[in-house]
Structure 1
Amino acid sequence: MTLKFQNEIGYFISTEEYFNSISKTGEGQFTINPDLFKIFSPYSMRRYFMKKKITGVDTNIGSSSFISDIKDKEVSEIKAKYLKIAKYLKDQGLLKKGEKIPNTVALNCAEKVYSKSNVNIVKNAIGSNIGPATIRTLQDSKFFFPENCIFYSKDISEINVQLLDKKFDLILLDPPWWNKYIRRKRKKSPDAYNMMYNTDLKSIPIEKMLTETGIVVVWCTNSSQHLHDLTQNIFPKWGVKFVAKWYWVKITTLGDPICEFSEPPGKQPFEQIIFGYRNPSKCLPDSGKLLISVPSAIHSSKPPLVEVIQNLLPENPQCLEIFARYLLPNWTSYGNEVLKFQNECLYLSQ
């Protein structure tokens, strides 16, 4: 089960268990490589810069690359909620025990995934798997497809044409927010992604693709400028109203935050999840909830929200993820790297 714990202030989920739960195919059981989740120690700025200087490898596991300008009071409230949930998780034995050893295994595994998945990225393709989960070969590489999934490996500029007249109850976005750090990194590494200005994000025709009672969920950085533009400029253009904000708190397998809760403008061990509704109803998410999980060592990889938002959706909802880099069962996924992390290099066969 992906959802390991929930109460009035938050959730604890296992991304690793979720992907394992959807990966049984006619060819056998495939499991996501557990080494990707062997995050035993908090992220250290000193270790990060030392290793990057020596090896050129980005060891930034899960912690936001954006300098945070979130307010002191908000950080304190998030930390207090996290401590309450973390204590319960430890008391109930839901966290692992052990030493805070280096995250070398996870980092090395991620580097291997990057090198292999970058070799054969499927571009300019449309496809689907209508039926049980399966493994298929594309361009001399094998890819895992969960059940009943649809994908568009297309540039965002084509979305209006590709999804013309399609409507969705939920649209999830993980935008490549503009960031000077990523801009510098892109000059040195093929693993960095293209970024978008907020005006470009606003131009995506979400308003044409959302049902009359639809929900928009957006992963947002801790930048006040991004949050302001999203809620005050982008959401109104998309025809939705801001109704709630959650926080994804990233922890080690032992339950420590992936980096310290810092005084602003320091980096934080959390990112924001923003909810917008076209026609707010009685079924609204409570603002301020925490989503706690161990992040994958793959940079910027987000946990699946399937189980924690299903009560907000109608029966058999039509769901779309934009800027997707992995596929979900019963979802439509859109992005120019939509199959990147469906590559066999992430999975182990049994």
Structure 2
Amino acid sequence: MAQKNPSFQEAANGNNNSSSEELSSFLESGIFRLDDGSRVVFVDPVRLLNRSYSRFRVSPSGYYSRSFKSRSKVRSIGEEEEEGIGDDAERRGKKKKRKRKSRELNEREICAEIRHQELRPLLLKAYNSLLTVSNLLSCLPNIVEYEDGYSNSGREEHNFVELGNLCQAPHYEISLCFNKGVIEEAEDSWPVRVGEWTIVPLFDNLIGNETTEDVEAEFLNSKYILPPRSSFYMSDLRRVRDLVPVHSDHGFNLIVIDPPWENGSVYQKAVYPTLPNRYFLYLPVKQLAHTAGALVVLWMTNREKLRLFVEKELFPTWGVTNVTTHYWLKVKPDGSLISELDLFHHRPYESLVVGYVNVKSAEFESTPSFTYMQDNQVFISIPGSHSRKPPLAKLLLDHVPGRKPAKCIELFARELVGGWMSWGNEPLRFQDSRYFIRK
């Protein structure tokens, strides 16, 4: 069992001001609001995910498995610009590399740069608001370096994308153990749980844990953890319409989509298979939405071509309206940005575009059940594995139309969340037991 790290609470008790109270709340919730209007929020994805689990919790060391070079002192963006320091300055001590010849930007790149310069003051203000909260900054290294016994060595993880394309894929089965009771052993050992095993097809099949306990599952000698009231459907894009409910009043109120956007990067293609962007036009978003309306959240890269595609084709095809844009700003454990703010092809932020489907009638309600999201909110966090997005549902629920609790689904999911349905060709990607520790 992992030992508790006292430095978190020590930091929370370090000051007797409002930020100290906010930090204590953050240690429980994973959410730290950096301004009074709640337009800038720092989140710890691990704490947010752990709200889903009963007997297990996500390993911080497993989630934050990326390594970052830290600085001896973190400065505001303004200080860096004045003194000429930053990631470029850090690289000056290294062997000089031959500089590539600069080229002129094309029309789309010019548009992207103009958009970035317009956005820059917002991101500067959000980032500098983080740097003013010293006790939160002092906690960040402990969030990542938590001693929990996580190890990435040993057996290889299964590649569900490859397995799903094999001719024997329809014959693969997963075993789920639904707990029936607990047998206590010696004082220093874990309690032994006895249960009933259920074996079901893994691919092209809706699999759910409708209990209030975590469920352990086994597939090809690997174990997976399923949070309470979660379900998943593992398939490729050809079977996505299997998710459409027979009756639209059984649809979803919150639809989060993290598409594998096509990308020219050879590295990205190697670690995360992509699809042509036009394939996403055929996602049945409107058919998945509840008749009372749905909030649609789309994760997006900073490419101008992609932004135009979403604005001009994708959202109109899906029937998404009332669109606002928000930003995920990525920082290192020392509080510095993961890359220079103005680095053209590697910005330290991504966009999430938010809109609504089937909400025309809600505009005329005397007491609407939700509030529309304000534009340009900024969410700050330390990133996890490649392309793994922070779970922001807790911050979105007040803006979700329809019934409560909301019915939620994530498309192209790579992990499960309690109370949600997850669809994609690898929704168990981060459910491997190696990413968890017992509570």
Task: Tell me, in whole angstroms, the C-alpha distance in 1 between the residues paired with 2:257 and 2:155.
Answer: 22
Return the letter of the residue paired with 1:174: D
Match of 2:276 in 1: 197
> In the alignment, residue 342 of structure 1 is paired with which amino acid?
Q
Tell me the residue number matched to 2:329: 249
2:374 is the alignment partner of 1:286: yes
Aligned to 1:85: 129
Match of 1:174 in 2: 258
> In the alignment, is the contact (CA less than 8 A) between 1:22 and 1:133 conserved in 2?
no
* TM-score using structure 1 length: 0.80
Corresponding residue number in structure 2 for 1:319: 408
Please, which runs of 5 or more residues in structure 1 have no aligned partner? 51-65
Unpaired runs of 5+ residues, structure 2, are 1-28, 72-86, 95-108, 164-201
Query: Counterparts of 1:299-338 in structure 2 under 5 Å?
Result: 299-313=386-400, 314=402, 315-338=404-427
Question: Higher relative contact order by CA 8 Å / sep ≥ 6: 1 or 2?
Answer: 1
1:41 positional shift: 3.0
Cα 1:111/1:179, change in 2 over 3 Å: farther
Distance 1:257 1:327, change over 3 A: same
Offset at residue 245 of structure 1 (A): 0.4
Identity %: 23
Partner in structure 1 of residue 53 of structure 2: 23
Aligned length: 316
Amino acid paired to 1:73: Q
CA contact (8 A) 2:253 2:406 kept: yes
Q: Aligned partners of 1:251 and 1:292: how far apart in 2? A: 7
Greater CA radius of gyration, 1 or 2? 2
CA RMSD of aligned residues (A): 3.3
Structure-to-structure mapping, 1:187-226, within 5 angstroms: 189=270, 192-212=271-291, 213-226=293-306
2:215 and 2:228 in contact (8 A); partners too:
no
Structure 1 distance, partners of 2:151, 2:356, is: 36
Q: CA deviation at 1:164?
A: 4.0
Following TM superposition, by how much is the alpha carbon of 1:224 offset from its aligned partner in structure 2, in angstroms? 1.3
2:70/2:333 contact within 8 Å kept? no
Q: Is residue 150 of structure 1 aligned with residue 231 of structure 2?
A: yes
Query: Conserved in 2, the CA contact under 8 Å of 1:172 and 1:217?
Result: yes
Q: Summarize the Cα distance change of 1:268–1:231 in structure 2 as closer, same or farther, 3 Å threshold.
A: same
> Aligned AA for 1:95?
L
CA shift digits 1:33-80 (9 cap, x unpaired):
425426553696999xx9xxxxxxxxxxxxxxx999342423422332
1:234 corresponds to 2:314: yes
**What is the deviation of 1:125?**
3.9
- C-alpha deviations, 1:123-173, integer Å up to 9, x for none? 444200112231322222211111111110111221112434351111110
SS in 1 for 2:211: coil
SS of residue paired to 2:351? strand
Query: Structure 1 residues 216, 35: CA separation in 2 closer, same or farther (over 3 Å shift)?
Result: closer
Query: How does the TM-score come out when normalised to structure 2?
Result: 0.64
For 2:41 and 2:140, locate their aligned partners in 1 and report how far apart those are by CA, in whole Å: 23
Partner Cα separation in structure 1 for residue 154 and residue 391 of structure 2 = 19
